[in-house]
Amino acid sequence: MNKELYGYGTAPYENYLFEIEYQRRNRGETHMKIAGLDIGTTGCKCTVFDEQGTYLGKAYRDYPVRRAVGGHEVDVSVIMEGVYAVLGEMAETYPDIAGIGVTSFGETFVMTDENGKPLHTAMLYTDPRGKEECEELIQHFGAEHIATMTGLRPHEMYSISKMMWLKKNRPEIYEKAAYIFLMEDFVVYHLTGKRQIDYSLATRTMAFDIQKLTWCKEMFEAAGIDVDKMSPVVPTGTDAGVVTEETANRTRLSKATHIISVSHDQVAAAVGAGAFDSSIAVDGAGTVECVTPIYDSVPDIKTMYEGYFSVVPYVIPGKYVAYAFSYTGGALMQWCVDTLAKQEKEIAKEENKSVNEYLESIYAEERGKENPSNLLVLPHFAGAATPYMDTGSKGAVLGLTTDTTTADIYRGCMEGVVYEMLVNVHALKGSGCNFKKMHATGGGAHSSEWMQMKADMLNVPIVALKTVDAGTVGSAMLTGIAIGLFKNLEDAADYMVEETKEYQPREEMHEKYMQIFERYEKVYQAIRPLV
């Protein structure tokens, strides 16, 4: 984060400019727009907001990903084509976009020539290559020492191991390479001509020192990778400057449009959820279920290491976030609906309801909404994430009888996802994690039944937020701060973070769930040897 932009040590003249813009906005005299550009694994989108933080519109383009036994790759030139397309579509409708914040998925890197032209297709984080090279780094440093330096338990998914693989197996590419980019700084470079990468994306290389906030030179030396090929690291939310003339001509953006290096997508989501201190954690209730606690200092590394939790510098100086997640959140309910609830889909359509609402209402009618299901659902249908990181684990549904209905299984899936959240929260306790409230975003935040279940089970109040896409909101918030539209995070949140309902935990329901949770905790260990 650029401290000057956030009011830390701001020069008098800069304070004056902020105040002028702030007053103009409040008088309705400014008409600038802000946007978030989200670079995903399979597509990119640009979302535009007005000066009051009101959503205006978005554009989306997808791009192909090649997955084979030997590698998972994406053509980054195609990514840039998608970026130019969504920016052009939004600029045509909103020619007064003043700033665009760039967020992206992590780990994936590409080596380029001195003009930023890719020299190879980029390896995705799921690419199996780099395992041997990661073991070499572990042998050199020790796994826990790497975690202490980088905030990450060593794994071949992180960029540095794959860079080593590429250098070893395709040395001609490495020798030609002038630069090594991750996706955030690759896009920023092509839009502005400036190389810079924010702290949170740099962390995903497993070669960034999370305490010194610099590239970890000893890691690069051990890996045999020239650190000078990497982009300079900058605080999250740093302005990279205005777009190049070529970008302006290609996208129809104003030549005065600023591009902001925002963050890894989960950091942006925490900002968009209005979570700025350790009292609040974020529940990302989307396809993947992700709990993001905030720490006021570096959390206990041993605890984080044992639970495979990533430690990432946050947007506020001195604070950090961690990622605790399950591969199947909303995806598990979608599986249930698509596989088992075909008839219920039709009935729900006739009654002008979502199938999710219909199944929840049927369960309440048949079993009572205050009665947990008699099922134990292990939600590892796509493998187990934190705190196990066991890709070989499988899902399970226990307790089926001839009386079990589709609504029962649906309810059991909802419960299973939350039990898995609770496993993660318990694993985080030793790290200093002690949040008092959660802010929930994503499509799942619109389910009052699921939100109440989470409040009851986790025994903390949960505030559902209006936005489905907190990452895009967070990106726009940081962009607004960088260009002077908002004074600080709190000011941005006043305009862009909207709460819909707060769910209070119920003691009686908490006790019911805890009795079941005692059995749930044993399911993984019981099932894993059998699959």
In a domain, 206, yes or no: yes
If pLDDT is split at 50, 70 and 90, which confidence band does 41 have? confident
In a domain, 20, yes or no: no
Shared domain for 326 and 239, answered yes or no, is no
If pLDDT is split at 50, 70 and 90, which confidence band does 18 have? very low
Shared domain for 93 and 135, answered yes or no, is yes
Q: How far is CA 422 from the centre of its chain?
A: 19
Per-residue pLDDT at 202 exceeds 90: yes
* pTM, full prediction: 0.88
CA angle 45, 322, 312 (to 5 degrees): 75
Per-residue pLDDT at 509 exceeds 70: yes
If pLDDT is split at 50, 70 and 90, which confidence band does 25 have? low
User: Average pLDDT of 395-407?
Assistant: 96
Task: Count CB neighbours of 182 within 10 A.
Answer: 26
At 119, the amino acid letter reads L
Shared domain for 180 and 286, answered yes or no, is no
In a domain, 491, yes or no: no
In terms of Cβ atoms closer than 10 Å to its own Cβ (0-12, 13-18, 19+), residue 402 is exposed
Greater pLDDT, 213 or 64: 213
User: Where are any strands of DSSP class E within 225-374?
Assistant: 233-234, 238-242, 258-264, 280-285, 289-292, 294-295, 310-313, 320-326
In a domain, 18, yes or no: no
Per-residue pLDDT at 43 exceeds 70: yes
Q: What are phi and psi of 273, to 5 degrees?
A: -90, 0
Shared domain for 223 and 303, answered yes or no, is no
Q: Which of 267, 299, 330 is the last residue of a domain?
A: 267
Q: Write down the pLDDT at residue 23.
A: 53
Quote the mean pLDDT of the chain.
91
Encode 77-135 in three state secondary structure: HHHHHHHHHHHHHHHHHCCCEEEEEEEECCCCEEEECCCCCECCCEECCCCCCCHHHHH
Structure tokens at 294: 């905030």
In a domain, 362, yes or no: yes
Domain with residue 179: its CATH number is: 3.30.420.40
Shared domain for 48 and 114, answered yes or no, is yes
Total domains in the chain come to 2
| Domain that includes residue 129, residue range | 31-267
User: Average pLDDT of 351-372?
Assistant: 93
Please list the residues that pair with 313 across neighbouring strands: 320
Q: Which of 202, 220, 219, 225 is nearest to 145 (CA)?
A: 219
Shared domain for 39 and 131, answered yes or no, is yes
Greater pLDDT, 324 or 288: 324
Per-residue pLDDT at 355 exceeds 80: yes
The CB-side HSE value for 80 (13 A sphere, CA atoms) comes to 20
Shared domain for 210 and 85, answered yes or no, is yes
Q: How far is CA 528 from the centre of its chain?
A: 28
Shared domain for 278 and 263, answered yes or no, is no
pLDDT digit string, tens, across residues 70-94: 678 889 999 999 999 999 999 999 9
pLDDT digit string, tens, across residues 260-286: 999 998 899 999 999 999 999 999 988
Q: Which of 251, 174, 166, 163 is nearest to 207 (CA)?
A: 163
Q: Name, in order, each residue with C-beta under 8 angstroms of 174's C-beta and a sequence gap of 6 or more.
A: 111, 166, 167
Shared domain for 357 and 279, answered yes or no, is yes
If pLDDT is split at 50, 70 and 90, which confidence band does 342 have? very high
At 471, the amino acid letter reads G
In a domain, 139, yes or no: yes
Per-residue pLDDT at 1 exceeds 50: no
